[in-house]
Amino acid sequence: MLTITAVNLLDPAEFTRVFGNAVEHAPSIAAVLARRRPLRDAQHLLAELYSVIDGLSDSDKVDILRRHPDLAGTLAEQGLLTAESTREQKAAGLDQLTEQQKYDLKRLNLSYRDKFGFPFVICARENRAVAILEGLTRRMINTPEKEVAVGLAEVKKIARLRVLDVVVA
């Protein structure tokens, strides 16, 4: 764990290494966040991180969503997820789905991606498998604008938990 003082002292490359996956596969977000230092505490770091995300253009917001792996998708099956995603998907019980649940999740993930052009994103650590399947069905009827907003709110929840794993609160 790092204190906020230690976070403020990291050189930019090291900062980007530590926080490059706070938002999945988005070191460019970490690089912008690095320049917002000094930070007062973990809450301040999170507030700045959210403001970097909110300041993105619409197309960069969609690009952030596209960096996320499908839940219980091919990457998960092949063991190719980031360490963070692996732990989160396990926490939601996604490594213990029944064959039927696996099939349903795959099918729903595909229809979602077909409809919106980006993957379904939800904070796995705040949900169990059944809630994720329900959420997927429920959110499928939203407009693309609404889903970009909901997806980004989930990205922030994921990032918050990832940051609090690393920075002393």
Ligand X SMILES: NC(=O)N[C@H]1NC(=O)NC1=O
| 121, 148, 152, 159: which one binds ligand X (CB under 6 A) | 121
Omega prior to 119 cis, within 30 of 0 = no
Residue 108 beta carbon to ligand X: minimum distance, rounded to whole angstroms = 12
Q: Which residues pair with 167 in a beta bridge?
A: 2
Residue 24 near ligand X by CB under 6 A: yes
Closer CB to ligand X, 4 or 147, in the complex: 147
Residue 108 near ligand X by CB under 6 A: no
Rounded Cα distance, 69 and 66, in Å: 8
Q: How many CB atoms lie within 10 A of CB 66?
A: 14
Length of the chain: 169
Rounded Cα distance, 150 and 154, in Å: 6
Q: Let me know if 44 is a catalytic residue.
A: no
Q: What is the CA radius of gyration of the chain?
A: 16
Omega prior to 38 cis, within 30 of 0 = yes
Q: Which of the ranges 25-33, 46-54, 114-122, 141-149 carries the binding residues for ligand X, by CB under 6 A?
A: 114-122
Give the DSSP H or E segment for 166.
Answer: none
Closer CB to ligand X, 8 or 82, in the complex: 82
DSSP for residue 140 = T
Footprint on residues 137-156 left by ligand X (CB under 6 A): none
Total residues in contact with ligand X, by rule CB under 6 A: 15
Give the active site residue among 4, 24, 68, 112. 68
Rounded Cα distance, 79 and 138, in Å: 29
Residue 159 near ligand X by CB under 6 A: no
Residue 162 near ligand X by CB under 6 A: no
Q: Which of the ranges 26-34, 50-58, 117-125, 138-146 carries the binding residues for ligand X, by CB under 6 A?
A: 117-125
Residue 123 beta carbon to ligand X: minimum distance, rounded to whole angstroms = 5
List contacts with ligand X (CB under 6 A).
24, 68-71, 85, 88, 119-125, 158
